[in-house]
Amino acid sequence: MKLLVGLGNPGARYAGTRHNVGWMAVDAIAEAHGFGPERAKFQGRLREGRLGSERALILKPETYMNLSGQSVAAAMRFHKIAPGEATVFHDELDLAPGKLRVKLGGGHAGHNGLRSLHQHIGPDFARVRIGIGHPGDKALVADYVLHPFAKADGDWLEPLLAAIAEAAPMLAHGDAAGFQNRVALRTAPPRKPQPAKPARPAPSDAVPSDAAPSDAAAPVAEPSPDAAPARSPLQSLLERFRRD
């Protein structure tokens, strides 16, 4: 059994905030794959369903971000889920908005939700890091992550959540790299090759560097075999003198 955890804070005050993008991601997965209704369990909101051939649980801890590990640890103990079978979706300041990376294990980088998980289940779980960008000043981070996404953010957020939901079975089957690539292609498809531009014709008075002088640059018709040889202006002038 797989456990997918979305990090966030409960209540209307935090709905739609950047810190809750983990909740948004697992909600999108649950809706896209027909998971059962939410029920209160393990100090959170739990849904059950399948991702491909894998049975999966989706958990949104309601202990507030700083105590997320309590809820996750309780669910893992009850269902005998090892840390390696858990995937946590969370916001990531160090990634540009709309970017996504999958990582197995590692530190918490000051993220309070990840710090709590480290304390209760250790570091050996997978993380889906969802980029929200950085405000540019460390002093602004707390207000930034607890502020709702701007309306313009929907241009990248909605396609990203849809891509996460579509590719989730790959993640459940252990193909983290495939999941990450699928999301990247879905949100930033490769550009179609553009047709080659036709070569610009040379100006009529332009002469290639290896061409003869300008009076010989124009195409010359091939003479017929029995035609008289062409006479130069000098030859014509000499003939006039001979006649005279």
User: Which residues are marked as active site?
Assistant: 19
Phi and psi torsions of 66, nearest 5°: -65, -20
Q: What's the token pair of residue 154?
A: 């929907």
Q: What angle do CA 19, 104, 148 make, to 5 degrees?
A: 10
**26-56 as b/e: b if 16+ CB within 10 A:** bbbbbebbebeeeeeebbbbbbebebeebeb
What is the C-alpha end-to-end distance of the chain, expressed in Å?
114
Q: What DSSP designation does 239 have? A: H
CB of 19 closer than 8 Å to CB of 68:
no
DSSP 8-state assignment for residue 49: E
Using DSSP's 3-state secondary structure scheme, residue 129 falls into strand
